[in-house]
Amino acid sequence: MASVFVYGTLKKGKKNHSVMLDAKAVFVREEIANGYVMYDTGYGYPTVVRVNGDDDMAVGIDITGEIYNIPDQQIAMIDSFEGLGKLYDKEHIPNLEEVWIYIWHGSIEGIKKIPNGTW
């Protein structure tokens, strides 16, 4: 079982939540991930990047999302949906050690920051 933090279109009530249902994901709780900044890609979904604590853009910024437990045999489906290795990388969230988050590995130049960290 893998724990995954989702913050965009995979959340309850969002357009791609059915992917979570297909993956037999079990909702655990709403949560806040510290040390990330959210951006609007302009393509109908958000992305996040991790920032270090000394970075001005990290001040007061956390992102909100939902944690799901996903069966090990289904995690590859979520990785594929998220574009792991193409659009996104995956890492453990520092304040939630055993929870994975998908982070943008592209440039954030020219994309709009979402100041409240909620999609």
Question: pTM for this one?
Answer: 0.91
User: Is 86 contained in some domain?
Assistant: yes
Average pLDDT for 99-110: 93
User: Is 65 contained in some domain?
Assistant: yes
CATH number for the domain spanning 48: value is 3.10.490.10
17: which DSSP letter?
H
User: Is 58 contained in some domain?
Assistant: yes
Q: What is the pLDDT of residues 71-86, one digit of tens each?
A: 999 999 999 999 999 9
User: Is 119 contained in some domain?
Assistant: no
Q: What is the pLDDT of residues 21-61, one digit of tens each?
A: 999 999 999 999 998 999 999 999 999 998 865 555 545 47
Average pLDDT for 89-108: 92
User: Is 82 contained in some domain?
Assistant: yes
Q: How many domains does the chain have?
A: 1
User: Is 93 contained in some domain?
Assistant: yes
- Burial pattern 75-110, b for ≥16 Cβ within 10 A else e, equals bebbbebbebeebbebeebeebeebbbbbbeeeeee
11 has a pLDDT exceeding 70: yes
List the domain range (segments joined by +) for residue 66: 2-114
More confident residue, 108 or 53: 108
Assigned token pair, 96: 């939630």
Q: Which residue has the tokens 């998908």?
A: 102
DSSP per residue, 64-87: EEEEEEE-GGGHHHHHHHHTBTTT
